[in-house]
Chains A and B, each alone.
Chain A
Amino acid sequence: VKPYGSYYNIPIGQLGLRLTKHSYSLPLVAYSFLGIEVIAVAAFEAKKSSYLRWPSRVIAYVIFLLYFLCTIGETLTVGWRSKHLPMIYEGLANSTTTASGPTTPPNSTSLAVTAAWAAGYHNLAGFLNGCLIFSVLSASNTSLYVSSRTLYGLTREIPDTNWLGRKLHSLSFVVRQTGVPATALLFSAISFFWLPFLQLKAGYAIQDVSSNNRQNALR
Chain B
Amino acid sequence: VPLIFLENEFLTKVLRSSSLLAPLLVAEYSTTMEVFATTLHAPERKAYLRIESLEVAGPAGLILSVIAIGFVAIFVSECISELSQQFPAPNAIVEYVKTFVDKDLGWVVGIAYWYAFASVFAVQNLAAAELSKYWGLSQTFQTLAFYGLAPLVILTLNFFGVYVGLVSPISFVYG
List the interface of chain A (C-beta within 8 A of B): 1-2, 6-7, 18, 21-22, 24-45, 47, 49-50, 52-53, 56-57, 59-61, 63-64, 67-68, 71-72, 74-75, 78, 80-83, 85-96, 98, 100-101, 106-111, 113, 125-126, 129, 132-133, 135-154, 156, 175, 178-180, 182, 185-186, 188-189, 191-193, 195-197, 199-200, 203, 206-207, 209-211, 213-214, 217
Return chain A residues, CB-CB under 8 Å to B65.
Answer: 22, 25-26, 28-29
Question: Which B residue sits closest to A33, measured CB to CB?
Answer: B73
Q: Are A34 and B159 in contact (CB under 8 A)?
A: no
Report which of B84, B162, B175 forms a contact with A135, defined as CB distance below 8 A.
B175
Write the chain A residue with the least CB distance to B115: A147
- Give chain B's interface secondary structure class: helix
Are A113 and B134 within 8 A (Cβ)? yes
User: Residue on B with the closest CB to A202?
Assistant: B43
Interface residue ranges of B46-63 to A (CB < 8 Å): 46-63
| Chain B interface residue number, banded | 35 or more
**What residues on A are CB-neighbors of B151 within 8 Å?**
140, 189, 193
Interface residue from B29, B40, B92, B158 paired with A141 (Cβ < 8 Å): B158
Q: Assuming the A-B contacts A1-B57, A98-B43, A144-B158, are A34 and B70 also in contact, with contact meaning beta carbons closer than 8 angstroms in the complex?
A: no
Do B58 and A195 have beta carbons less than 8 Å apart? Answer: no
Cβ–Cβ < 8 Å partners of A146 in chain B: 113, 117
- The reply to whether B146 and A109 contact each other, CB–CB distance below 8 Å, is no
